[in-house]
A and B are shown apart, each in its own frame.
Chain A
């Protein structure tokens, strides 16, 4: 094997080893990342809403408690990192209503809005069958275990829930307020390895507090479940509520449900309350769906909506609950209200959809107390110290206000821009407590999620117009500046070329013409003196012939395709042989070492010029017997050496004539190192070390760059 191939093989082997090492390091890093969970035990901030992502539900934070006040099936609030693997989450959980469940999700990914629209594990408390349950969701639910809890799971009771994942083992425990703990342990052989965590409720509102997360180990798992092996995950095959046995387990809650929600059939419609006498105090019973719980309770039926205030204790209501309200009716100018209300929860899970109205329609008061959807452009945005935001909106001839809780805590709302077009869903109220008698109506928004940005502010704002004007002024200036620089670079290139040509002409034609002038002067002098002028004439003729040849050579040298076709070393050899043709005693030797490489045209052309000058100097002035021209190809450079065994000279800065300075200047133009080694009687060596661009760039770009330059040259020539 040749040294060259051996060297290349080593390079390839090293490159391969490097790539493999990088892949291995990446793999190990990935493994480390994916195997690790959260770095330390920490309390999770529920207040920073920007850290959480909601998928359904109506989420509110107050006093360290995160609440979902809707009873949507499968509302989720997620946070954490998708690469968290072994960790535990614990929290206090409270079910706000009945016939649903609430708990914690771990190792979740690909979450969407939907009942079981995520991949991950969920564990929680369910009051329908009084169980602590745990299962897996893959856009469909597989329940692995449901264990009875004692004392019975009931709404408005706090339980401490802990959910741990280690490898493919999962443990969940629920601790009641009396300290009794129920635990489930499951092994899911084809488990989901990592994912985020979150809060989830189904069919009921719920609350969470003291949410903590910690990395989990085998020891943590053992401390939860002891030394017993977790049972293998086998999903139940029938849905909750439809399982045939045991019978009373499911029938009993249904019967409780029926009894709990029996309603009076003498309820009035909300709209009919307007027909009551405003002068006679009256009481009434109405039924409706809860559309707002804060800052005021609002209910709505198909005929209208009203505000309800109660001093009696009642079950906490959630948006979507159907409630029966009995109390004193107060009629205001444009709205109704029931005070001292006795509120009876009838049923959950009946959220109403908003009615889409224009601001003008809402301003008539016909939709007072009702859940509506209105569009408008944001005119102003304010916030009080309690985090309640007040938005002023405009739509055609109407202005209206929107009151929303948690304005400052929501990143979406913080980014609301004035003049944006918004769609808002909320309770339309004409109550002067909210309108301040400034607008016809106000909207009370259940949550910040009820604001949707339809389009941003119009582009033609004063700021943008000013920026545009500045740009219009700056653009011509920038163009002129650019043009100026380009022109300057072009002029510099022209001047450089002229200087190069001046050097060329000095080295060749000017010297020849000067010599010719001297000969003609001598001829004239000899004619006057009657001396034989034939020798001078012959010499002059020689000089003319030489000059012609020099000019032809120069023209030839200006044509880069010549250099391209014969190669640099051959061109230099040809040049030298042409010069020494009348002096056959000078031996010319050429040599090339290293790996032959393509040299950029600009570099090879410059080397040729320098080489020609050095050869001319050696032949004319050094009286040498041997001239050596060598090219040494290195990895990233090429060195040209023109060496003779002539008389030499003492190298100093003073000794540099126009020719040497010209060579030096040319070398500088290609950032090459130029050096002359010489001493009297010891010959002269001219060395030029020119750097080369990286080989892969050179090989790919060389041809088309060359072609491009040749095309330009041919184009110019054709035009000439």
Chain B
């Protein structure tokens, strides 16, 4: 009897000891997983952070992530032309065991191979704002700014403000980003079909920075060809052209229609006639929604297009524009 009791007590003690050890190892394992972020974390990597164009994507993605119970890792290169850092962030996200990656490639072609590698490792990807040429599938979705519509909006705005007649220049043409190519083609096609009396007399390739764009626009304005309007196809070219117009005191004399949200005061002031803004808030929200489906294996082939909106002096304070420019990534929408 005594022997049986002692064995029982010993067994209980052994059990307790085992529980302590198992708990310790479980805690250690959980904490190490916690350091690397759990598998419910989705990396969202825009072209850069802290700008009026990309912070709304943060807000949209964060709102949806909260709704579906996902965590979000938000980081990007410090410059929107730092392709190498963006690729490095994508690769690191896979190494950290992220549940999925939402990325807005800085350039189309260099991102193809990294994304293919991510997909072969079974990590779902949602690409925002540009097509990579890889067809969408169960692990790859696209959320695109509808550049076709954007080009049409800009062309019709030019037609409206020039009353169907005049000479214009196109700046910021970016052959390295497919969205920009579509944007430009759509604009020119719409313009030639709907406003044949408006002629494109100059074209300038997009450059890396605002000062370069400013310099390019200065040269354009100093040229012999008089212009009625300029269409700037990118954020940097819009700002650079505006600076060149301001410098040469031609603000308002030559109309400027830009793309992608950046500075609001010149719009309110009339220095920039209008800007075709991307609804990056909605793009971020939809991307996270698709990612949630992909993570849970419910997604099919997906390609969603979000229509841009024309922001003018008249509607800059409207509810629609304020929602697009929303930066409140920290609070429920």
Q: A116-B49, A139-B75, A258-B246 are in contact. Are A350 and B209 (CB under 8 A)?
A: yes
- Cβ proximity bits A475-519 to B, threshold 8 Å, 1 near / 0 not: 000000000000000000000000000000000000000000000
Chain A positions 113 through 151: 1 when the CB is less than 8 Å from some CB of chain B, otherwise 0: 111110000000000000000000011111000000000
Given known contacts A116-B49, A696-B14, A250 and B265 CB-to-CB distance under 8 angstroms: yes
Verify A237–B328 contact, CB threshold 8 A: yes
Residue of chain A at shortest CB distance from B92: A112
Provided the pairs A244-B317, A351-B79, A696-B10 are in contact, do residues A596 and B2 lie with their beta carbons within 8 angstroms?
Answer: yes
Q: Which of A140, A244, A259, A596 has the most CB of B within 10 A?
A: A140
Q: Is the CB of A242 within 8 A of B78?
A: no
Give A140 to B75 CA distance when docked, in angstroms: 8
Give the Cβ gap from A612 to chain B, nearest Cβ, in Å: 26
B316: chain A residues within 8 A (beta carbon): 244
A247 and B218 in contact, given A4-B5, A140-B329, A349-B209 (Cβ under 8 angstroms): no
Set B3, B268, B327: member contacting A247, Cβ < 8 A: B268
CB of B247 within 8 A of CB of A140, answer: no
Q: In the complex, which residues of chain B have a beta carbon less than 8 angstroms from the beta carbon of A2? A: 2, 5
- Complex CA gap A351/B80 in Å reads 12
Say yes or no: A235 contacts B247, CB within 8 Å. no
The docked-state distance in angstroms from the alpha carbon of A112 to that of B73 is 12
Contact between B10 and A595, CB atoms less than 8 A apart:
no
| Minimum CB–CB distance for B58 against chain A, Å | 6
> Which segment of A83-91, A172-180, A261-269 sits at the interface?
A261-269
Query: Is the CB–CB distance between B326 and A237 below 8 Å?
Result: yes
Question: Which of A257, A258, A287 meets B215, CB within 8 Å?
Answer: A287
- CB closest residue in chain A, given B239: A254
Cα distance, A112 to B78, chains bound together (Å): 11
A677 at the B interface (CB under 8 A) = no
Q: Does B113 contact A (CB under 8 A)?
A: no
A residues in contact with B246, CB < 8 Å: 255, 258
A639 within 8 Å of B (CB atoms): no
Q: Give the distance in Å from the alpha carbon of A19 to the alpha carbon of B21 in the complex.
A: 13
Q: Which residues of A contact B2 (CB under 8 A)?
A: 2, 4, 595-596
Residue B269 CB within 8 A of the other chain: yes
Q: Is A27's beta carbon under 8 Å from chain B?
A: no
Given contacts A74-B78, A114-B76, A115-B50, contact A258 B243 (CB under 8 A): yes
Chain B residue with Cβ nearest A238? B327
On chain A, the number of residues with a Cβ less than 8 Å from chain B's Cβ atoms is 54
Size class of the contact patch on chain B: 35 or more
> Is there an interface contact between B218 and A265, defined as CB atoms closer than 8 Å?
yes
A254 adjacent to B51 (CB under 8 Å): no
Assess the A56–B6 pair: CB atoms within 8 A: no
**A237 proximity list for chain B (CB < 8 A):** 326-328
Contact for A244 among B219, B262, B268, CB less than 8 A? B268
The smallest C-beta distance from B286 to any residue of chain A, in angstroms, reads 19
Given A12-B13, A116-B49, A251 contacting B265 (CB threshold 8 A): yes
B247 touches A595 (CB 8 A): no
Q: Are A699 and B10 in contact (CB under 8 A)?
A: yes
Indicate whether A74 sits within 8 Å of B269 (C-beta atoms), given known contacts A262-B247, A350-B208.
no
Determine if A254 and B327 form an interchain contact, defined as CB atoms under 8 angstroms apart: no
Contacts of B263 in A (CB 8 A): 241-242, 250, 254
B333 to chain A, nearest CB (A): 12
A169 at the interface (CB under 8 A from B): no
CA distance A193 to B121 in the complex (A): 37
Query: With A115-B50, A237-B326, A596-B3 given, is the CB distance from A72 to B218 under 8 Å?
Result: no
Residue among B48, B211, B214, B316 with max Cβ neighbours from chain A (10 Å): B211
Cβ distance B318 to chain A, nearest Cβ, rounded Å:
11
- Which chain A residues in 11-29 approach chain B with CB under 8 Å? 12, 19
9 contacts between A and B (CB under 8 A): A4-B6, A140-B58, A239-B55, A258-B247, A265-B222, A322-B211, A596-B3, A696-B10, A696-B14
List chain B positions with a Cβ less than 8 A from chain A. Answer: 2-3, 5-6, 9-10, 12-14, 20, 48-52, 55, 58, 62, 73-79, 85, 208-212, 214-215, 218-219, 222, 243, 246-247, 261-266, 268-269, 316-317, 325-330
